[in-house]
Amino acid sequence: MDYLNEELIDKYYRNEITLKGMAKKVNVPYHIFRAEFRDRGLPSRKNMYKYLNLPRDLAKNLMQKHSGILTRCTIKMRYGHYYKMPFLNALEYADLCNENTELLLKLWKSYIRHNKELKYAISVDRIDTNKGYIVENIQFVPYGFNSWKDNLTPLYCKFKDKEYYAMSKKGLARKTNIPRIYKLGTYYKGHGKNKKQINIEKCSIDKVLENCNTNNLFNYYKKFIQ
């Protein structure tokens, strides 16, 4: 039917209108409108999790995450910069989940295996933080990676005639066996003959990845952090 157009469907899955509101808007009896909606194979927002080809608990967990994205992008809050950021509607998001069932099942099993420890929970990550929750900018990752990624300080260090690269002061300290790194720049550690010059500078994420033989942040996280 022409009255059930893509624009109206999009508004419904963005929580901007109800089914009854849609029927009223196009002047069609609600029971006829609801039947047409069902005949098209369109799930209701309430039962959206049933549309996912995933176990019930995982499907519900993923749809709750979409509710969080919707709230974040449509309600202005005192913190964050998500308001008015573009995002997938519930149906588009569910389709994306169905396209990533193998990955999501793998992440979910890891989460269960680690007694539902938060760092292993599934997180919806924006690859580029300057862009919204759109298909090409979304990846499903462990929460620990998402949290770690938000606090990167890519660094280069020359110490004992060797070069080191890491994504944080803590990571650099671990690689160089320096108990703790407090600041950037040039400074000295030790006394007398044991005195060593340390040069620490900021560098790019790509430079760290290149020198650590990893091709993306997630692989770096798995190799050196997780």
Q: What's the pLDDT score for residue 198? A: 79
The answer to whether the CB of 58 falls within 8 A of the CB of 108 is yes
**Cα 25 to Cα 15, 29, 41, 77, 105, distances in angstroms:** 15, 10, 21, 31, 40
Q: What's the pLDDT score for residue 178? A: 79
Q: What's the pLDDT score for residue 189? A: 66
Per-residue pLDDT of the chain (226 residues; tens, 9 = 90+): 577 889 999 999 999 999 999 999 999 999 999 998 899 999 999 999 999 999 999 999 999 999 999 999 999 887 778 899 999 999 999 999 999 999 999 999 999 999 999 999 999 999 998 999 999 999 999 999 999 998 899 999 887 788 999 999 888 888 888 777 777 877 666 666 667 777 889 999 999 999 999 999 999 999 988 8
The answer to whether the CB of 73 falls within 8 A of the CB of 133 is yes
Q: What's the pLDDT score for residue 193? A: 67
The answer to whether the CB of 169 falls within 8 A of the CB of 153 is yes
> What are the residues whose beta carbons fall under 8 Å from the beta carbon of 39, sequence distance 6 or more?
none
The torsion of the CA quartet 21, 24, 26, 27, rounded to 10 degrees, works out to 170
Q: What are the residue boundaries of the structural domains of the chain, listed by start?
A: 6-39, 48-149, 160-225
* Residue 87 CA from chain centroid, whole number: 13
Q: What's the pLDDT score for residue 183? A: 74
CA-to-CA distance for 19 and 33, rounded, in angstroms? 8
The DSSP 8-state label assigned to residue 133 in this structure reads: B
Phi, psi of 72 (to 5 degrees): -60, -40
Picking from 82, 59, 64, the residue whose alpha carbon sits closest to that of residue 133 is 82
